[in-house]
Amino acid sequence: MNLRNVEKVKEQSIKMVEKPEPTILKVGCDGETVTACLSDTRIITIPVAWYKKLREASLEQLKSVQILPAKRGIYWPDLEEFLSIRAFIYGPKSGC
């Protein structure tokens, strides 16, 4: 690999690292799933069953979900439960 190729790879790596994490634009819950519409155009749906507090909540409680001001997570005030955007992107084992 010549120096020019090394520089291209470095530049591409930096661009990948600098890519900002998407934000949550819209969220909804139907009792079985939570769906988030993200700023990068993805729509991600996760099962309520992944999280104990959500699994045990009523439909009314689940529908009271709110997007946090920074748009990096969602919150259920009645349940005192929070999920970050990483939970949608990487799943429940992401430490969110």
What confidence tens digit (pLDDT) does each residue in 16-44 have? 556 688 999 999 999 999 999 999 999 99
> In the chain, what percentage of residues exceed pLDDT 70?
77
pLDDT tens-digit map of 54-66: 999 999 999 999 9
Confidence of residue 4 (pLDDT cuts 50, 70, 90): low
CATH number, domain 22-94: 3.30.2020.40
Residue 82, pLDDT score: 94
Expressed in percent and rounded to 5, the helix, strand and coil fractions of the chain are: 40, 30, 35
Give the residue extent of every domain in the chain: 22-94
Give CA–CA dist 52/83, Å, rounded: 12
